[in-house]
A and B are shown apart, each in its own frame.
Chain A
Amino acid sequence: MSKLLPFARRAGRSAPATAEAGTSRMSTSEKFISIEGIARRYPAPGGTTTTIFENLWLPMRRGEFVCMIGHSGCGKTTVLNILAGLDAPSEGVVIVDGQAITGTSLDRAVIFQGHALLPWRSVLGNVAYAVSSRWRKAGRAEIEARARKAIATVGLAGSEHKRPSELSGGMKQRVGIARALAIEPKILLMDEPFSALDALTRGTLQDEVRRICVETGQTVFMITHDVDEAIYLADRIVLMTNGPEAKVAEIVENPLPKARDRTQLHHAPGYYALRNHLIDFLVTRSRTLRDAMPEGYDSRHPPTVRPSLSEADAAAIAAEPPAKRA
């Protein structure tokens, strides 16, 4: 199970990072979401087609937090839109909870990058709109109660009657999160939800999202540009090579314990190995891997990687009970 990946040797760092790699295939029963061989192509000028990505496979477990990282143009948002049902794959299927998806569903809530609140509705109105779409026969009082509960969860109690235009960017995105949570979805899909926020607000919202997801065991698929965000939030991090014709280069298992403290995170064993691995990927390997995948690459079972710095780190992680791990 422990073998050096070719890239680690090539890179030749002074303190060579080791990485456990393996396929660690998910059993069929474990797969809550299964992206199976999807492709997305667009017609290009000259009668040809541009392939954003093809033959993309990705399984996800129930209750798992998966982040997808890659440069612009690798089709991250397209993958998310296909998962949401807003876009249809040119080939392949996505199976959620045993059923191939055919369109949008209230089971899959989306938190949009630009919050996408309806500006003519109040905070309560925006969340209640989602609630009343989910429970169509619910009475007014029940809808309001559910909406208020979701608003309180994201810490916006007291701002129910404000209009989106009266809210700051962070508060707007909180409403977006409340709207998504209010419908109690099986899967939460987030498309760079915090990229438009300042660093402080982003940190607070990441804490909130992490708390809510850990408490509720929410299955989350999130797209991000931010390596630190992925490290803090994700159980597994999917690395996409540059597009067009992007591929899932590898899936990185987050070795950090599930109980994470933002302030202590950078002291955790394996933190820097993970961070360096991700940054190396974004800086160089996302490009080199697009041009030439390592031998034995199977797009159906992309390699699973577990970066670690030293044997001491590895020992520390190994010493932990596996249940606590991601």
Chain B
Amino acid sequence: MQRTLSLRAGILSLALLALILLGWQVAVSGSARTEVMDPEYAALMGQTATTGKSAMPGPLDVGATIWKHLKDPFYDRGPNDKGIGVQLAYSIGRVALGYGLAVLVAIPVGFLIGMSPLMSRALDPYIQILKPVSPLAWMPLALYTIKDSSLSAIFVIFICSVWPMLINTVFGVAGTRKEWLNVARTLEVSPIRRAFTVILPAAAPTILTGMRISIGIAWLVIVAAEMLVGGTGIGYFVWNEWNNLSITNVITSILVIGLVGMVLDQLLARAQRLVTFPE
């Protein structure tokens, strides 16, 4: 039953893909009306005006571009011509740094807040006010204080990843069952050992949920941040290709961004399954 269901779902997925690709091809292959114009003027105009060809690439064009990128993802021919693999590596590197810093800050601070009702109350207004701020709003402040665009992008990733992790850690830590804490108390377990052997495992599933939300947000924000700071990264690549009017490359990057985002999410989903305990 389960197998036939996944088989049927797979067939339906493929059918949908075929339908989308077909619709896409049909939509871009129709030729528009062409105007008679002066040949010199026509030379300045694109193919859309002269031959009626759509500026929107078809699936075959995009497929060819993807193949070209896949064949040689890591070339580097100067600032404006780097392989998509190189650009992705820059983005993933920034996300890893910013996200890693956020883990290092959010989890210990979350522990502190979760274990102390006083800290929880005292810090709550800050968290409530800073949490809804768009991470890009921090960008000017980051650029002014850090004076380095690449580091500023990392800071923006840090600030957007920190909140879901912090809030989930606080929630998970504060929600540790009293009976488990009582077990640790009757066994005279030291506070440090208690934190690592009781509270951390108890809160781990909740913390991992926060980490999974954070990585999703971080991957969303890196594209926008790199569009702003420029230079390198997949976000910059998208913006650069838009300036080059290479819609095929823009579509290619959309697919690649989606793919990487999915992989990152699945990695954390797997980690989450590892720490989840059945009751």
Contact = CB atoms under 8 A, between A and B. Distances in A.
Contacts of B201: 118, 120
A55 B212 CA distance: 54
A84 B186 CA distance: 7
A164 B180 CA distance: 14
A165 interface: yes
Contacts of A105: 186, 188
A118 B180 contact: yes
21 contacts: A85-B186, A86-B185, A104-B185, A104-B188, A105-B188, A106-B187, A110-B182, A112-B182, A114-B179, A116-B180, A118-B183, A119-B277, A119-B278, A119-B279, A120-B201, A120-B275, A133-B189, A134-B187, A163-B278, A165-B277, A165-B279
A86 B186 contact: yes
A108 interface: yes
Nearest to B185: A104
Nearest to B197: A129
Contacts of A119: 277-279
A130 interface: yes
Contacts of A237: none
Contact of A106 (B183, B188, B275): B188
A239 interface: no
B198 interface: yes
A152 to B, nearest CB: 21
Contacts of A86: 182, 185-186
Contacts of B277: 119-120, 163, 165
A183 interface: yes
Interface in B162-191: 177, 179-180, 182-183, 185-189
A105 B275 CA distance: 30
A39 interface: no
A154 interface: no
B35 to A, nearest CB: 72
B179 A116 contact: yes
A130 B182 CA distance: 12
A104 B186 contact: yes
A264 to B, nearest CB: 36
B158 to A, nearest CB: 30
B187 A108 contact: no
A133 B187 contact: yes
Contacts of B177: 116
Given A86-B185, A104-B186, A108-B186, 11 more contacts: A85-B185, A109-B186, A116-B179, A116-B183, A119-B277, A119-B278, A120-B275, A129-B187, A130-B187, A133-B189, A183-B187
A104 B181 CA distance: 12
Contacts of A165: 277-279
A119 B179 CA distance: 12
Contacts of A116: 177, 179-180, 182-183
Interface string B186-218: 111100000001100110000000000000000
B205 to A, nearest CB: 10
A108 B186 CA distance: 7
Nearest to A163: B278
Interface string B123-165: 0000000000000000000000000000000000000000000
A183 B188 CA distance: 12
Contacts of A106: 186-188
Contact of A112 (B183, B189, B198, B279): B183
Contacts of B186: 84-86, 104-106, 108-110
A129 B196 CA distance: 12
Nearest to A84: B186
Given A86-B182, A118-B201, A133 B279 contact: no
Interface in B88-138: none
A118 B184 CA distance: 10
Interface string A161-174: 00111000000000
Contacts of A130: 187
B152 to A, nearest CB: 40
A183 B201 CA distance: 23
A292 to B, nearest CB: 37
